[in-house]
């Protein structure tokens, strides 16, 4: 089983719909992240959470919200989807701690298309 699991893997929906993307992890990491990836733009951070009670906006949080339901679960919501939110979405996790830190580990992504 994957350490970082994203659901759904693919989703097609219409403008104005509410969408939730789920992420769960079995790595026991305290930090979780949501990114979107667009062709030619690389990975951009939407939201991040250092623990259940700590949620922060990333570079491109407008139009998105998140919920950290438990240490292992971090969901991303689009309250009213719009076509320019069509992208590949990744969830990632990392261990906290001091020093130089640990690498982030990514899920397989959710491909979201908004018509």
Chain residues binding another protein by CB under 8 A are: 4, 31, 33, 40-45, 48, 50, 56, 58, 90, 94, 96, 100-101, 103-109
- Minimum CB separation from another protein for residue 28, in Å? 17
- Minimum CB separation from another protein for residue 53, in Å? 14
- Minimum CB separation from another protein for residue 11, in Å? 16
Residue 63: both structure tokens together: 């139009």
Which residue number, 75 or 94, has a Cβ lying nearer to another protein? 94
């Amino acid at each position: 089983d994957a350490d970082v699991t994203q659901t759904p893997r693919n989703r097609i929906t219409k403008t104005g719909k509410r969408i939730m993307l789920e992420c769960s992890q079995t790595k026991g990491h305290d930090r979780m992240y949501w990114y979107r990836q667009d062709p030619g733009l690389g990975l951009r951070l939407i939201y991040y959470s250092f623990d259940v009670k700590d949620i922060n906006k990333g570079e491109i949080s407008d139009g998105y919200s998140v919920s950290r339901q438990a240490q292992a679960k971090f969901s991303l919501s689009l309250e009213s989807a719009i076509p320019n939110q069509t992208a590949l979405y990744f969830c990632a996790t990392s261990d906290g701690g001091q020093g130089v830190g640990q690498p982030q580990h990514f899920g397989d992504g959710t491909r979201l298309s908004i018509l």
